Amino acid sequence: MAKRIITISREFGSGGRFIGEEVAKQLGIKYYDKDIIAQIAEQSGFSAEYIEEKAELSPKKGLLAYAFAGRDITGKSVEDMVYEAQRKVILEIAEKESCVIIGRNADFILKDKDNVLNVFIHGDMPEKVARICKLYNVTEEEAEKMMADIDKRRMTNYRFYTDQKWGMAKNYTLSLNSSELGYDLCEKIIMDCKK
Amino acid sequence: MAKRIITISREFGSGGRFIGEEVAKQLGIKYYDKDIIAQIAEQSGFSAEYIEEKAELSPKKGLLAYAFAGRDITGKSVEDMVYEAQRKVILEIAEKESCVIIGRNADFILKDKDNVLNVFIHGDMPEKVARICKLYNVTEEEAEKMMADIDKRRMTNYRFYTDQKWGMAKNYTLSLNSSELGYDLCEKIIMDCKK
């Protein structure tokens, strides 16, 4: 089988992670999500908890916080070092084997490689809120706050490191509304997209 | 068969029109593109040529031109009247029968209707330029100019009348890169998306 790399970017609550995990299972290929964090920790020397907070999300204060972050003598902030370690890990993983990679700007990091299918999963508000309430055991109001915060921080991180706008169709090979299409059909379409 | 309405929005040169026509043929449903213009002409009293220029594209001067357009005593510009006629025609068509509708902000006009699949087709520069050169018998430089001009005017028209950003994945059920996936696979995926 030719190598297949599938990156899944997603709105919080859209089920993108679940869909990616199912696709990996059904294709019998590796699934990378939280496990990437341990590898980034090893590469960078930072703790896994610290990386979980920093690697995909912007600082809470948004884009300007990147500009004013403390920098070492090479001009790199801690965020930059974490990002650089993340980039190396993702390139190594994609070199090695077929896999599904969730988030972490993998679409951009791998955009010039062959056999990479970049997918964006988004959804409608009521379904996303209901999913978050169930998964995190929170109220609707809390779910809406979590969603707004996390999507905004993913968006800012993406914007800062890729110079692209998060969620624009043209960054991805394929974008799917999981609320309208359902998870099963999303999985089928992704698997049908052998490039 | 349940009614199926498929709207196709597209970047200039991405083959979206061709893909939509093929899907309509293969599903045996009506295909609406230029034929909508005659109906808008009838509704609005403007000539077909005039509508072809106005109905999907913004004035050449961009968004501000809308603001400064001449208006009648109800505050409506000529562009608004053409747009209103277009909206009515699209709603009537979608009420009547299964069909594929190309462009004309049909995704937004029909967004609250059931059984509507909103598709966005985009592509990569070299393929889009090559396609435009062949279709319109122009040089690469001319093709790039045409593309920049038409996409910008579609974008501005869409922004003005929908308050949404053209090309954002979340406006569409499905977005596809036709250069990476190929036209046949795009057609197959669209046909598989029975909602």
Q: Domain B5-188 adopts which CATH fold?
A: Rossmann fold (3.40.50)
Specify the residue for token string 């961009």. B62
- Higher model confidence: residue A19 or residue B50? A19
pLDDT in tens, B164-184: 899 999 999 999 999 999 999
Q: Nearest chain A Cα to B168, which residue?
A: A168
Determine contact: B112 vs chain A, CB below 8 A: no
Across the interface, of B122, B188, B193, the residue whose CB is closest to A185 is B193
Q: How many CB pairs under 8 A join A and B?
A: 66
Backbone dihedral region of A58: left (phi > 0), alpha (psi from -120 to 50 degrees) or beta? beta
Per-residue model confidence (pLDDT) at position A195: 58
When scoring A7, A168, A188 by the number of chain B Cβ atoms within 10 A, the one with the most, hence best to mutate, is A168
pLDDT in tens, B8-44: 999 999 999 999 999 999 999 999 988 888 888 887 7
Residue A36 to chain B, least CA–CA distance (Å): 27
Distance from CA of B134 to the nearest CA of A (A): 23
- Provide, as residue numbers in chain A, all residues whose Cβ is less than 8 Å from the Cβ of B193: 181, 185, 189
Asked if B168 is an interface residue toward chain A (Cβ–Cβ < 8 A), one would say yes
Predicted confidence at residue B86, as pLDDT, reads 86
Instruction: Name every chain A residue with its beta carbon within 8 A of the beta carbon of B183.
Output: none
Per-position DSSP letters for chain B, written without gaps between them: ----EEEEEE-TTSSHHHHHHHHHHHHT-EEESTHHHHHHHHHH---HHHHHHHSSS--TT-HHHHHTS-B-TTS-BHHHHHHHHHHHHHHHHHHHS-EEEESTTHHHHTTTSTTEEEEEEE--HHHHHHHHHHHHT--HHHHHHHHHHHHHHHHHHHHHHHSS-TTBGGGSSEEEEHHHH-HHHHHHHHHH---
Q: Which of B122, B185, B188 sits opposite A170 (nearest CB)?
A: B122
Asked if A172 is an interface residue toward chain B (Cβ–Cβ < 8 A), one would say: yes
A70 backbone dihedrals φ, ψ, rounded to 5° = -60, 140
Residues B169, A195: C-beta atoms closer than 8 Å = no
Judged by CB atoms closer than 8 Å, whether chains meet at B181 and A175 is answered as no
pLDDT in tens, B57-111: 666 555 556 655 666 666 677 778 888 888 999 999 999 999 999 988 999 999 8
Which chain B residues have a beta carbon less than 8 Å from that of A181?
Answer: 173-174, 193, 195
pLDDT in tens, A117-136: 999 999 999 999 999 999 99
Q: Is B115 on the interface with A (CB under 8 A)?
A: no
User: CB of A90 within 8 A of CB of A104?
Assistant: yes
pLDDT at B140 (0 to 100): 94
First vs last C-alpha separation in chain B: 12
Q: Answer yes or no: do B188 and A188 touch at CB < 8 A.
A: no
What are the domain boundaries of chain B?
5-188
Contact between residue B170 and residue A122 where contact means Cβ atoms under 8 Å apart = yes
Is the minimum CB–CB distance between B96 and chain A shorter than 8 Å?
Answer: no
For A5-192, the fitting CATH number among 3.40.50.1010, 3.40.50.300, 1.10.10.60, 3.40.120.10 is 3.40.50.300
Is B176 in contact with A174 (Cβ distance < 8 A)?
yes
Which residues, in sequence order, are CB contacts of A45 under 8 Å at separation 6+?
none
- Report pLDDT for A54: 67
- Cβ–Cβ of B172/A175 closer than 8 Å? yes
The answer to whether A188 contacts B192, with C-beta atoms less than 8 Å apart, is yes
- The Cα–Cα gap between A3 and B166 comes to 34
pLDDT confidence of residue A69: 62
**List of chain A residues with pLDDT < 70:** 1, 54-75, 195
Tell me if chain B has a CB within 8 Å of the CB of A111: no
- pLDDT for A14: 96
Q: Least CB-CB distance to A175: which of B169, B192, B193?
A: B169
Put simply, the answer to whether A169 touches B168 (Cβ < 8 Å) is: yes
Q: What is the ipTM of this complex?
A: 0.87
What are the tens digits of pLDDT across the range B111-158? 888 889 999 999 999 999 999 999 999 999 999 999 999 999 888 888
Q: What is the pLDDT of residue A135?
A: 93
